[in-house]
Amino acid sequence: MRIAYKNTRIERTLTVVKAIASAVVVASFVTLFGFDKPFVPLPILFNIQIGMLCIFLIGKVIRLFNAVSKKEYVVVNWFEIPMLIALGIAVLGSGRWFSETEPGQVRHLAVGIYLIIEVTVKVCISSVSLAASGKNPTGTLIASFVVLIVAGAGLLMLPRASTAAPLGFVDALFTATSATCVTGLVVKDTGQDFTFMGQLVILILIQLGGLGIVVFGAVFALLLGQAFSVRESVAMQDVVSAQTLSRIGNMILFIFVTTVVIEAAGAFLLYPMWDNIPGWQGDAHFRWFCSIFHSISAFCNAGFGLFSDSLIRYHRQWQIYAVICPLIVLGGLGFGVLYNLANMAGNRIQRFFLKHVTRRHQLQMEVPKRMHLQTKVVLSVSAALIVSGTLTILLFERYTGRSVAGRSPDVLAALFQAVSGRTAGFNIVDIAAMTPSSKIMLILLMFIGGSPGSAAGGIKTVTLAVIVMTVLATLRKRGEVEMFRRSVRPVVVGRAITVTMLFAVVLFVAMLALSVTEGPLSGDFTMLDLMFESASALGTVGLSTGVTPTLTTAGKAIIIVVMLIGRLGPLTLLAALTFNLKPIRYNYPDEAIIVG
């Protein structure tokens, strides 16, 4: 993806100029669409955009002549040619060949679309280059989340993003953090307090936060036919948790295609469910947006909804259990597991075709692809958590003889909360009305969370499996931790213990801090409610017993930090702080100590 230039000083100058021009373009669109009445006259805004277009075009010409190989420059930036041709047709043809009545609007629209595509592509591709810059990759990941959160908060503070008065900075920052970290905790009603623009900003933050800006940048690069350098491949290997460099491109495209297909299928299946949306009068456009919003929110395990009671009003709809639940589960398994399952399914179909259609002998076929240890652990632990969570919630609710959300608890309601309680944050029952035993069970599920490589939070299912098998190995006096007849490396065991301990410490500190800031002012909430809120934020789940809307400014700040820690992971933050530390190359003498 890198192009050699003759004069590096000119290239650096162009990079700075294009960055400033991109910022001006973003500011012009914010001014144009973010305010009810732009404080800059429209003709001036349009002239500014045309000026930035000229800067971009001049920069391309200079880079073309400054490139060592002009052919290489054209090949890498081939997509610019059809974009420029389309722009030229729209600008020169409006008023002559088409749109004779309003040619000015067509020109402005064409320029605006070109600028949006130009800035978006450059930002996404630059994120890949930045991740492969050789500097602290973990710091780059953290910085990308912080920049996305701050930018999202700025957009949510615009007057046209909210239905009433513009959001304050703290509420906007809280909402942006919750969306980017795919948590789902809200201090404002998403469906009532935000306009379509605000809801669209939240949806984009969910999608970008769920998959990651760097992944989107890699998708853009691959779709535009740009090959990764070795350094960029290594950086993307860490981001997508791929096992080999040779499969980076396949893995990234699989992530993109799988996300689009699953979310589109979910939106299509959810569309008939919104028969009676208050205030929408059955408008097809809004019903489609509602379907897309909830499908993306479910697959990214975000838990954001457009209704004040989450999905309680739709608890009788079959789509809740047959669409929302599978979306949550698939989103929480991790793309590495989905990639392995897809490869296995494709291999089985291929072998069946070769064996029964082409009549090829079994010995002439390749060795069948097997299920990885990661996949086995994730599927088994996820199934065990869903089943045990369903049974315990159902038992605790029925044992007390209480009703949940005004109705008798049933298996489907318990199943949904066991699935959603680990990762997503949707609810079809009143969480505040649940028994303390059920809340404690949900806290445990939120603490465990989803699986590695997904948008879900928590210590992850594989971490839990390693911890449990370490205990069993100690009890059985085995020298190694074993799972499915495979040994687990000691470094993985140490990492699992570290992650669990760090999560427990963060959870305790968050709960203690909330008890200081919220305890004296919230007499209706118990310590269990504050612990539930802390676990929900740390696990990026989004369930709440009603504490979130009443949080003080200090409490909101605590939850914001905890959500960010939960999305990135304490181990990621610790790795960023200790990136420059070199490993010690010596050991001290052993001496026995007594534990337990």
Would you state the pLDDT for residue 466?
92
CA quadruple 254, 258, 261, 264: dihedral, nearest 10: -130
Domain contains 44? yes
Would you state the pLDDT for residue 386?
94
pLDDT at 388 over 90: yes
Domain contains 373? no
Domain contains 467? no
Nearest to 427 by CA among 531, 550, 303, 295: 303
Mean pLDDT to the nearest integer, 545-571:
87
Q: How confident is the model at residue 116 (pLDDT cuts 50, 70, 90)?
A: confident
Mean pLDDT to the nearest integer, 402-419:
72
Element (H, E) at 470: helix 461-475
List b or e across 16-25, with b for residues whose CB sees 16 or more CB atoms inside 10 angstroms.
Answer: eebeebbeeb
Mean pLDDT to the nearest integer, 231-243:
57
Domain contains 331? no
Would you state the pLDDT for residue 360?
61
Domain contains 174? no
Domain count, the chain: 1
pLDDT at 311 over 50: yes
Q: How many CB atoms lie within 10 A of CB 422?
A: 31
Mean pLDDT to the nearest integer, 519-542:
82
| DSSP calls for 121-162 | HHHHHHHHHHHTSSS-HHHHHHHHHHHHHHHHHHHHTSGGGB
Q: Which residue has the tokens 């630059």?
A: 126
Q: Which domain holds residue 101?
A: 1-131
Domain contains 254? no
Span 156-209, pLDDT tens digits: 998 888 888 888 899 999 999 999 988 889 889 888 889 888 999 999 999 888
Output the six-digit token pair for 208: 């970008």
pTM for this model (two decimals): 0.87
What separation in angstroms does the CA of 200 have from each of 171, 179, 340?
Answer: 17, 11, 33
**CA–CA separation, 43 vs 45, rounded Å?**
5
Domain contains 249? no
Q: Which residue has the tokens 């959603």?
A: 420
Q: Which residue has the tokens 């400033």?
A: 20
Would you state the pLDDT for residue 390?
92
Q: How far is CA 285 from the centre of its chain?
A: 25
Output the six-digit token pair for 207: 């999608």
Q: How confident is the model at residue 406 (pLDDT cuts 50, 70, 90)?
A: very low
Domain contains 91? yes
Would you state the pLDDT for residue 285?
77
Q: Any alpha helices (H) in 271-410, and if so which ranges? A: 284-299, 318-319, 325-333, 335-356, 373-400
**CA–CA separation, 470 vs 488, rounded Å?**
9
